[in-house]
């Protein structure tokens, strides 16, 4: 589920840069929908720019899944939350 977080954030950045609306289909996946909505709210409330988000994603280095119980997507969410709260 959370593997779709990065593509959703990239789509948010592209839509924001192009000043376009975004409809991201989660096909009934409530967990993904809630997670994406939460990330959007976090970025909006912190007034993050596309550049801020881009540079933050470039700094992201996931821990090997063998070293942590958290998936890549969960690690990315935690990383974004730590940078924009």
pLDDT of residue 61: 86
Whether this prediction's pTM lies above 0.85 is answered by: no
Decide: helix, strand or coil at residue 85: coil
For the chain, percent of residues with pLDDT exceeding 70? 95
At 29-75, the pLDDT tens digits run 998 899 999 999 999 999 999 999 999 999 998 876 677 888 888 88
- Nearest of 8, 7, 76, 69 to residue 36 by alpha carbon: 8
């Amino acid at each position: 589920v959370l593997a779709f977080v990065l593509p959703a954030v990239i789509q948010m950045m592209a839509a924001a840069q192009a000043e376009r609306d975004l409809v991201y289909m989660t096909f009934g996946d409530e967990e993904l929908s809630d997670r994406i909505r939460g990330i959007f709210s976090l970025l909006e409330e912190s007034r993050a720019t596309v550049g801020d988000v881009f540079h933050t994603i470039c700094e992201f280095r996931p821990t090997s899944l063998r070293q942590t119980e958290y998936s890549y997507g969960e690690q990315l969410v935690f990383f974004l939350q730590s940078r924009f709260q």
